[in-house]
Amino acid sequence: MKIVLKNEIDHFMNSTETPCVSLYLNTYRSGAETLQNPIKMKNLLKRAEKEVESWKLTDDTRKKLFQPIWKLVDDYDFWQHQLDGLAVFASPGYFRHYQLPYPVQELSLVARQYHLKPLMPLYTRDDQFFLLALDQKRVRLYEGNRYSIREMPTPDLPKSLAEALQYDDYEKLLNFHVAGPGGGGNQPSPIYHGQGGERDHRHEQLLRFFREIDKGLHEYLRDSHKPLVLAGVEYYFPIFQEASDYPHLMKQGIKRAPESINERELHKNAWEIVGPTFREEQNRAAERYRELAMSSNGQNKHKTADQFEDVIPAAFQGRIETLFALRDHQQWGTFEEESLEVEPNAGNTPDRKDLLDFAALHTLRHKGNVFLVARENMPEESPVAAILRY
């Protein structure tokens, strides 16, 4: 699965090509049902083509807009390898699609901006983490969420323990020292070492190497608050913790050699570690919201908001510290950036947008935290609630 990256979200938000087509559908992973996948896409596409008629596009522009999607409809092999959902984005001269590991509310939308909120479970604050896999032959960094992990390109990281530490030769030196003939024959007897100076020397070598890794990680984890999970043999853990100054390194890790398990197992084991942490963080944020909302005096006055007329301008101006938005809910409306005027129930116009989508994207853009939650986990009755920076 391709994970949507932060720079791609920025591109979507900054796109000036219109109209923007956003299509979401649920897909079948296997079996005869996969034949329904392109049919469902075709139906959504026809709805988008009908909706775009009001834009009065030239034939050439319409072709640029829809031709890549029609090609996708006819790609039999593509539809045989799906997950649970699919997102498709197109504008004249631009086309991207993403497989989603969760079902979505099916939607066809033509507007001046892309509709992105159904993607947010892939990159919001409440479930992103890093996974560092250490073994003798390869060092790998993954970016992950509750659904999957992807290996990141890391040219600034050292590549292997074996190469950097001359590990194989050192293991021979450490664990197999020739002492002379054995008692029962002419072959030399091995003497195994595990304590004393040689072990201390090995510790220092690993410590220096892990410090090089930690230095390289700064390029990828800079300004990040995401947890970092370590995977490797158990004796690496205390040494790496000594070497690393990343404040969000998890104390618990995956105590297995990464080369012995596949990526799916790595992800499952990592999520078992970080998942409870995210739930605790969300609960703490919700409790903080309630405490601030109950206080109407002093420095906490106006520190929370739960009306779109207040939340949308605050998100646009970067004033939201933490946002709660109701998952799988749309609130269509308009927002005038110059006047900061919000119309939560605007009609079916090209300028309409999902106000929850807008609030979440701009909160993330200004380094705020976003939690997409079910109704029972919202701290207010409203579908949106925010803790304000000021």
Neighbours of 380 (CB within 10 A): 18
- Sorted by where each starts, the structural domains of the chain and their CATH numbers stand as 6-114 (3.30.960), 126-182+217-277 (3.30.420), 295-388 (3.30.1330.30)
Tokens 């949308």 map to which residue? 312
How far apart are the C-alpha atoms of 195 and 242, rounded to whole Å?
A: 20
Q: Which residues, in sequence order, are CB contacts of 76 under 8 Å at separation 6+?
A: 38
Question: Could you tell me if residue 148 is left (phi over 0), alpha (psi between -120 and 50 degrees) or otherwise beta?
Answer: beta
Q: What is the pTM of this model?
A: 0.65
Instruction: Please spell the DSSP secondary structure of 272-312, one letter per residue.
Output: HHHHHHHHHHHHHHHHHHHHHHH--SGGGTT-EE-SHHHHH
Q: pLDDT tens, position by position, for the chain (390 residues)? A: 444 555 566 677 777 789 999 999 999 988 899 999 999 999 999 999 999 998 989 999 999 999 999 999 999 999 999 988 999 999 998 899 998 888 888 999 998 888 888 888 776 655 789 999 998 778 999 988 888 888 888 888 888 766 665 544 445 444 544 344 444 444 444 444 444 566 677 788 888 889 889 998 988 887 778 899 999 999 999 999 999 999 999 999 999 999 889 999 999 999 999 989 888 889 999 999 999 998 755 555 689 999 999 999 999 999 999 999 998 888 989 999 999 999 987 666 777 889 999 999 899 888 898 998 889 999 999 999 999 999
Query: Can you read off the two tokens belonging to residue 207?
Result: 């410590």
How far apart are the C-alpha atoms of 390 and 380, rounded to whole Å?
A: 20
How far apart are the C-alpha atoms of 360 and 379, rounded to whole Å?
A: 16
Q: Which residues, in sequence order, are CB contacts of 206 under 8 Å at separation 6+?
A: 161, 165, 236, 239
Q: Are 309 and 316 in contact (CB under 8 A)?
A: no
Q: Which residues, in sequence order, are CB contacts of 222 under 8 Å at separation 6+?
A: none
The phi, psi pair for 261, rounded to 5°, reads -135, 155
How far apart are the C-alpha atoms of 67 and 72, rounded to whole Å?
A: 9
Q: Which residues, in sequence order, are CB contacts of 369 under 8 Å at separation 6+?
A: 125, 126, 285, 321, 322, 323, 363
Q: Are 99 and 83 in contact (CB under 8 A)?
A: yes
